[in-house]
Each structure stands twice: as structure tokens, then as C-alpha cells.
Amino acid sequence: MIEYDLVIKNGLICTASDIYPADIAIANGKVCCIAKNIDENLANEVIDAEGGIITPGGIDAHVHVDEPMKLLGDVADTMEDATMSAVAGGTTTVIAFASQDTSLKGPKALSESVGKAIALYGKQTLYCDYALHLIIAKLEKDGLAGRDILGEQLETLYADHSVTSLKLFMTYPGLQMSDYNILNTMYNTRKNGFTTMIHAENGDMVKWMIDSLEEQGLTEPYYHGVSRPTIVEGEATNRAVTLARTMDTPILFVHVSSPQAVDVIRKAQTDGLKVYAETCPQYVLLSDMDTKCHGNHDDKFIGAKNICSPPLREEECQKRIWQGMNDGSFTIVSSDHCPYLYSDKGQGKHNAFKNGKNGDFKYIPNGMPGVSTRMPLLFDYGCLRGNLRSMMKFVEINCTNPAKLYGCYPQKGALLPGSSDADLVIWYPNDIKTYKNRPKTITNALLQHACDYTPFEGFEIKNWPRYTIVHGRIVYKEGMIIRDNAKGSYLPRSKSSLCTPDGDWLTEWRPIYAK
């Protein structure tokens, strides 16, 4: 009698807390049984893991794709492209961004902004599930009236679409929020149980540095990083912690790259504050030299490929980022996947030459692709090379913590019978010599995305996902996408189990809703 759709035999299961040999049985898209020896005759399909490690599918909680508002311009990947690339690298859930449409007003303005994105992606073939954060660009009104309108808008957004996280910016023209409006936003994310994500760079310092470098004629791609020294990130991080402490609002710092910022975050955590942080593989595997044109290279613009914000740092910063992953300073690792075409001179990174622009670094679109490489790079350069302390830590920061932080645990990020979606990755066994088709270096073609380059081209890889399984269906097998099994959809989320306020106030002041 058939009881299971799929049984995986002879694997070594690794979760955020344990690693042990066992079989896994899957039925109706869920993990339904984990046991020492499951009878393969009970299954429609059987996979022999051959001693390979089995982990929950990765959750990439920071992914930019083409969206209705096109806040970032002509990003190369649609949601279809990004989810295909994700599963090729072992990620089974992506959380992307819907930008606020500032032309919309009233209680349903934010909900309508997100609704446009959901409608767009609903027309595409999706290879895994996706969720959405909201990027908030401005409050509808200044002063406390803006605070109250935002509160009503967030309530409606959650009721309509189960979005439970938003991102705000301390830099970028048109996005940079004043401290006043950051407080207004934190006031309401606390009230509504939203996860508050912060891009922490001091925008005024960055603008001043850009103007000064331009005055001196220092405008090549390399000087993008020079305009954003690590202290710029450290200052903004410290200021954001102060604002969050005033509002008793848990916060998450995204794409952290600066040792000074890590030190601020670590101190806040030691003080008992609910301060969380995300970093990305590029901040431990690439450096500021990757934005420089080396030697006699004909293409003097090539460093634009690796322009992102915060920028790539000096190699000496990398050790502090690895340390932060191991000591808990970093709660999660994401990719900040934001792909722009490079070879097409009419778009993408070459937008820096459009409309009379001269290619200066300040005009180069910020971002690089990475949704497919995040998990394999951290598996290899983290676990196999000893920079991460264990495979369990790998699962914690790539799978389990993102699910907890963003309100989808244990449906995602875990392998719990009866509770977890059957989203998982089977890696190649350690005896890699016997697997001729296993990738040995990263190539752009391997990544299955729409972008025309990867910053990790040529990186040696000692392991890569052998199977990626989403809702119990094999969507990636030994280098091949299984298109007929693409059944991804929008993922409604609950409120974060981590981002709950403490009720610890600095003075007698209390928010009106807390009285």
C-alpha cells in the first residue's frame, strides 16, 4: 500500500539543533515522518541520498526583482527568473520587496502597493514560494498625523496580505528618512508587530563625500566604496539603535558590512536589546579591490559589476563578519540579490551613461546577483573550510532564523513532521570524486538567472545542491531544472516570534496605544 509521495533514504539530516542519520517521508507536500528506516515500498518515488547531508530549504530574505514600481530601475530578474535561480542553489523560499506607491493615499494605500506586486507575480511560473516586504519611501503626511495614518495603513496591509515586515532607509535621495519619521515608523511597527528592517548608512555623510570626490575628479567605480567608509555605517547603526531603544521597537539591520556596525549591534544585543542583523556572502568573499580596474584591462568600467551598498570592504573586515556569524551577532545571512545586466550598453549598470550622464560611480545602479550562490558559498567557504563553526550554524542562519524572524516558522526553515512544508535540499555526499556532474566552479550558466554575470565567476566549489525539493516536488536535480514541478505561490506570513517588544522605556513617556 502506498502511503507516501516520496521517501528519501540514507541521508544525514541536519537542522539548526541536530545532525543525525535518518529517512524522510513526504506526503501531500508536507514532511510527515522522520525515522531510522522507512520502507521504500510505501512510496511512489524514492531518492537515495547516498550519505549526503539533507537540510531544510534555504530562505533568502533579501531579494530584489522586477516589480510594479520599479524603484531600482531595470532589474534583470522577474520573480520567475529569481525563483528558478533560487532553487538551483538550494533556496526554497524568497522574500522580495514591494515598493510603496507614493501616489496612492488613504488607509489602503500600502495594501494596494503590495497587491500590484502579487498580481504581477501571480501571472508568472514560480519555482518556489515567495513572500514580500514593504519598502516605505515616505509618510503620507508630516508630523504626528503621518504617524497615525501609517498605523492605519499597516493594519490594513496585514489584514489584506499578511505582510509583516517593512524596510526603511537612512540614505539614498528620495528614500532617506529623517530621524523624526523613523520614530514615527518605529512607533507603528511596534504597535502592529511588524519586523522593522533598516538600511543603515548616514546619507548626509555619503552625499558630502560623493560631492568632494567628484570635485577632485575621483569618480571611477572604485571610489563608490571610498565615499562610504565603514564609520558611515557604524554611525547610522548606532543612531538607529538609539531610536529603537526610545520606541522599544525590535529592529533588524540589513546587509551589514562594517566592523563598527557589528560592534554596535553586538553591544546592543549584550545589553539585552532585540537588535538583529543580516549580512551577505559578498562581505566575506569579495573585497573593495573587486571594484577596481586592474592592470591593463580594456574595460575601465568593469568594477561597476560589483557596486553595491553598503560597499565591498577591505579584506581585513572579512574576519569580523565571519566572527559575527559564529557568535550570534548576525541572525541571518541573505544575498541582497539585485541583478543588473552589464554587457548590454543600453541598460543595467550602463544606465550610468544614459541621458547625458558620464558614468561616474554615483550614477551606477547599486546591486549584484546572488540568490543562487548564497547557500553553496556558505556551505563551502563557511562549513567545509572552517569559517563557520558547524553545519548546524549554517542551517540556523540560512534557514531557521529567517523563518522565525519573518513569521513563517515552522512551516518553513524546519523539518518537523506534520508542521513543515517538504522544502529541503539534498547535498552531494562528501566523496565528491565519484560524482562527475557535480559543479566544481561557479559559472554564470550554472545559476539559471537572467543576469549576464556573477561576481563569483570561477570560484571553486566543493559541494552544490544535488536535489532541491519544494512542497515534496523535485524542482532541481543534478544541474537540471524540472519545469513541470514548478508550483510556487505567494506565502502569507504571521508576525515575527522574535520581534516582540519588551515594555522597557527610557522615561515616563509611553505611546498612546500603550496607556
- Average confidence (pLDDT) over 99-104: 96
Q: In whole angstroms, what is the distance from residue 466 CA to residue 335 CA? A: 20
| Comparison of pLDDT for 101 and 288, the residue scoring more | 101
**Cα distances (angstroms) measured from residue 218 to each of 63, 209, 311, 380, 514:** 31, 11, 16, 37, 51
pLDDT over 90 (residue 299)? no
Q: How many CB atoms lie within 10 A of CB 435?
A: 16
Q: Which fold has domain 58-402?
A: TIM Barrel (3.20.20)
pLDDT over 80 (residue 329)? yes
Secondary structure string (H, E, C) spanning 171-190: CCCCCECCHHHHHHHHHHHH
- Average confidence (pLDDT) over 336-362: 93
Residue closest to 220 by CA, chosen among 310, 293, 294:
293
pLDDT at 233 (0 to 100): 98
pLDDT over 70 (residue 257)? yes
Q: How many CB atoms lie within 10 A of CB 83?
A: 32
Q: In whole angstroms, what is the distance from residue 257 CA to residue 254 CA? A: 9
pLDDT over 70 (residue 432)? no
Residue closest to 380 by CA, chosen among 53, 61, 81:
53
Q: In whole angstroms, what is the distance from residue 55 CA to residue 254 CA? A: 24
| Domains of the chain, residue spans | 58-402
pLDDT in tens, 3-54: 999 999 999 999 999 999 999 999 999 999 999 999 999 999 999 999 999 9
| Comparison of pLDDT for 515 and 451, the residue scoring more | 451
Question: Which residues touch 263 (CB under 8 Å, ≥6 apart)?
Answer: 234
What are phi and psi for residue 271, nearest 5 degrees? -75, 0
Average pLDDT, the chain: 95
**Cα distances (angstroms) measured from residue 192 to each of 78, 144, 196, 224:** 30, 17, 11, 37
Is 40:1 a contact under the CB 8 Å cutoff?
no
Q: In whole angstroms, what is the distance from residue 191 CA to residue 180 CA? A: 17
pLDDT over 60 (residue 296)? no
- Cell representation of residue 164: 509583516
Q: Calculate what percentage of the chain has a pLDDT beyond 70.
A: 98
Torsion region of 508: left, alpha or beta (phi above 0 gives left; psi -120 to 50 gives alpha):
alpha
pLDDT in tens, 153-187: 999 999 999 999 999 999 999 999 999 999 999 99
pLDDT band per the 50, 70, 90 thresholds, residue 332: very high
pLDDT in tens, 103-147: 999 999 999 999 999 999 999 999 999 999 999 999 988 889 889
Torsion of CA 340, 344, 349, 350, to 10 degrees: -160
Q: Helix 318-327 to helix 259-270 angle, to the nearest 10 degrees?
A: 20
pLDDT band per the 50, 70, 90 thresholds, residue 225: very high
pLDDT at 438 (0 to 100): 86
Q: In whole angstroms, what is the distance from residue 330 CA to residue 145 CA? A: 35
Alpha helical stretches, state H, 216-327: 223-226, 230-247, 259-270, 282-285, 318-327
pLDDT at 294 (0 to 100): 54
Apex CA 323: angle with CA 330 and CA 241, to 5°?
40
Q: What is the pTM of this model?
A: 0.96
Residue closest to 75 by CA, chosen among 63, 66, 62, 83:
66
DSSP string of 270-290? Answer: HTT--EEEEE-THHHH--GGG
pLDDT over 80 (residue 293)? no
Q: How many CB atoms lie within 10 A of CB 502?
A: 11
pLDDT band per the 50, 70, 90 thresholds, residue 433: low
pLDDT over 60 (residue 295)? no
pLDDT at 289 (0 to 100): 87
- Average confidence (pLDDT) over 463-476: 97
Residues facing 26 on adjacent strands: 6, 31
Residues of 9-46 as b/e, b for ≥16 C-beta within 10 angstroms? Answer: bbbbbbbbeeeeebbbbbbeebbbbbeeebebeebeee
pLDDT band per the 50, 70, 90 thresholds, residue 435: confident
pLDDT band per the 50, 70, 90 thresholds, residue 287: very high
